[in-house]
């Protein structure tokens, strides 16, 4: 209880972001299950939720990572460099994700086999990215 009261801003962000990652994974799993069971209305509803959670998560990360890059007094140079590299290496994936969610999270968009194949590919990439982010970047930030 007292730990969270005395946690640094970065530690609180790591906790929040980790929680959002779990939420994103859960929603993605719900989409796969709904689509596989031909519950397309449910899959569409979950896609809208995924869009909201993911875009909010990415926006917060972008803002906070930019702040951290400038925060040279509270972070060591290696951590700042790591944040910068992380942001640049994730740029293309974020663009693909945003475009995908923009296209498929509308009521009139058809969820077909093309959607499902693209979604599964995107989920695989994001799962690896989340794992990397939490095991590398978050572990550095959680001590600051």
Q: Is residue 2 part of a domain?
A: no
In the predicted model, is pLDDT for residue 6 greater than 80? Answer: no
Write the pLDDT tens digit of every residue in 40-62: 999 999 999 999 999 999 999 99
- Stated pTM of the model: 0.87
Cβ partners under 8 Å of residue 71, min gap 6: 80
Write the pLDDT tens digit of every residue in 118-142: 999 999 999 998 998 888 888 888 7
**What per-residue confidence (pLDDT) applies to 2?**
43
Q: Is residue 38 part of a domain?
A: yes
**First-to-last C-alpha distance (Å) of the chain:** 19
Q: Is residue 3 part of a domain?
A: no
* Rounded mean pLDDT, 95-107: 90
Q: Is residue 1 part of a domain?
A: no
Q: Domain limits at 31?
A: 8-141
Check if the beta carbon of residue 111 is closer than 8 Å to that of residue 41: no
In the predicted model, is pLDDT for residue 4 greater than 70? Answer: no
- Residue 29 pLDDT grade (very low, low, confident, very high; cuts 50, 70, 90): very high
Please give the Cα distance from 34 to 28 (Å, whole number).
Answer: 10
Q: Is residue 15 part of a domain?
A: yes
Check if the beta carbon of residue 141 is closer than 8 Å to that of residue 14: yes
Q: Is residue 32 part of a domain?
A: yes
Residue with tokens 């995924």: 50
Check if the beta carbon of residue 29 is closer than 8 Å to that of residue 49: no
In the predicted model, is pLDDT for residue 19 greater than 80? Answer: yes
In the predicted model, is pLDDT for residue 68 greater than 60? Answer: yes
**Torsion sign (Cα): 72, 75, 133, 25:** negative
**What per-residue confidence (pLDDT) applies to 141?**
84
In the predicted model, is pLDDT for residue 10 greater than 90? Answer: no
**What per-residue confidence (pLDDT) applies to 16?**
95
* Rounded mean pLDDT, 67-93: 84
Check if the beta carbon of residue 138 is closer than 8 Å to that of residue 8: no
Q: Total structural domains in the chain?
A: 1
Check if the beta carbon of residue 95 is closer than 8 Å to that of residue 122: no
**What per-residue confidence (pLDDT) applies to 106?**
85
Q: Is residue 47 part of a domain?
A: yes
Which has the closest alpha carbon to 80: 90, 89, 88, 70? Answer: 70
């Amino acid at each position: 209880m007292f730990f969270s009261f005395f946690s640094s801003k970065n530690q609180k962000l790591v906790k929040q972001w980790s929680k959002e990652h779990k939420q994103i994974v859960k929603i993605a799993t719900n989409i796969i299950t709904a689509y596989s069971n031909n519950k397309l209305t449910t899959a569409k509803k979950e896609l809208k939720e995924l869009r909201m959670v993911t875009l909010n998560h990415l926006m917060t990360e972008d803002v906070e990572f930019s702040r951290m890059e400038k925060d040279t007094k509270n972070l060591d140079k290696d951590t700042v460099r790591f944040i910068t590299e992380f942001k640049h290496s994730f740029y293309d994936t974020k663009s693909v994700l945003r475009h995908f969610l923009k296209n498929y999270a509308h009521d009139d968009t058809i969820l077909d086999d093309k959607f499902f194949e693209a979604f599964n590919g995107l989920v695989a990439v994001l799962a690896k990215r989340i794992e990397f982010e939490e095991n590398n970047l978050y572990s550095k930030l959680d001590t600051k």
